[in-house]
Amino acid sequence: MPLDAEAFGFWLKAAFGAPTTMGVEAPYSHEFQSGSWTLPSMSIETGMPEVPRYAMYSGCVLDQITWQMQRSGLLTATARLVAQGETVGTTTSAGTPAALELKRFGHFNGAISRNGTALGNVVSAEITYANNLDRIETIRSDGRIDGADPSIAALTGRIEVRFADQTLVTQAINGEACELEFAYVLPSGESFTFAVHAVYLPRPRIEISGPQGVQATFDWQAARDSVVGRMCTATLINDIEVY
């Protein structure tokens, strides 16, 4: 799905649970925090009116969400869901949903910072948050699972940088943690900030493969920050009053 300023909040709610919303009038700030044990369940319908075929997937819980940052192209995120069952019909059960205005973030709106300072020389980045759902696969006559419970969440990713200084390599060798922040800001004021509070980097392999510049890839992993009390915080600022 496109990573936009309004509809993406529903996917963040599915990944992290209900947000804390601040503001008495627009713009509103929605803060999503990792570590929730009460993930919302959703019903999602896919429709093909020309057939006609409408499939309603009930009891959907988000297992994983991932997106990439790069210089160009369309900014999209991918969500993996676990659903309890499917019901197929010839008419829609969703009624007429209200349309949301598409205010899409672009790769050119993105920035990455490390410990509050802009991180330069980044070629690409990838972020993956997983709830690692535990499927309750009991024996039932209808063949459905009983549910899916969140277990130990995992937050991983990858950053590829032009090798221009020793900052990240020194951190990896020393086994220290840093805070990485991935942010997007639209000229109209909407923004999305994803802060990972304790990131650990592996020692990279630095290859010299040809006449081009040297690049290093860090497959990072996040841990729970003892001060903040969680792994990550996602903040979405837009005109939506409540999710």
Residue 56 predicted with pLDDT over 90: yes
Which pLDDT score is estimated for 64? 97
- Supply angle C-alpha 66, 34, 221, rounded to 5: 55
Q: pLDDT category, 147, cuts 50, 70, 90?
A: confident
* pLDDT of 146: 87
Average pLDDT over every residue of 130-155? 90
Return the pLDDT at 202. Answer: 95
Read off the pLDDT of residues 192-219 as tens digits, 9 standing for 90 and up. Answer: 999 999 999 999 988 888 788 899 999 9
CA distances 179 to 37, 42, 65, 112, Å, are 24, 32, 20, 10
Return phi, psi of residue 55, to 5°.
Answer: -110, 120
Query: Per CATH, is 8-36+68-74+105-238 categorized as 3.40.1800?
Result: no
Q: Give residue 36's region: left, alpha or beta (phi > 0; psi -120 to 50).
A: beta
* pLDDT score for 118: 95
**What pTM did the predictor assign?**
0.94
pLDDT band at residue 37 using 50, 70 and 90 as cut-offs: confident
Q: What is the band of 54 on the pLDDT scale with cuts at 50, 70, 90?
A: very high
Q: Which of 83-87, 102-106, 141-145, 232-236 has the highest mean pLDDT?
A: 232-236
Give me the pLDDT at residue 149, please: 87
> What are the distances in angstroms from CA 92 to CA 83, 99, 100?
19, 16, 19
The confidence score (pLDDT) of residue 139 equals 87
**8 A C-beta contact, residue 147 and residue 154:** no
Q: What percent of the chain has pLDDT over 70?
A: 100
pLDDT(169) > 80: yes
Domain boundaries, the chain: 8-36+68-74+105-238
pLDDT at 152: 93
Q: Mean of the pLDDT values across residues 83-111?
A: 91
Separation CA 64–CA 55 (nearest Å): 22
pLDDT reported for residue 206: 84
- The pLDDT of 137-166, averaged and rounded, is 90
Mean pLDDT of the chain: 93
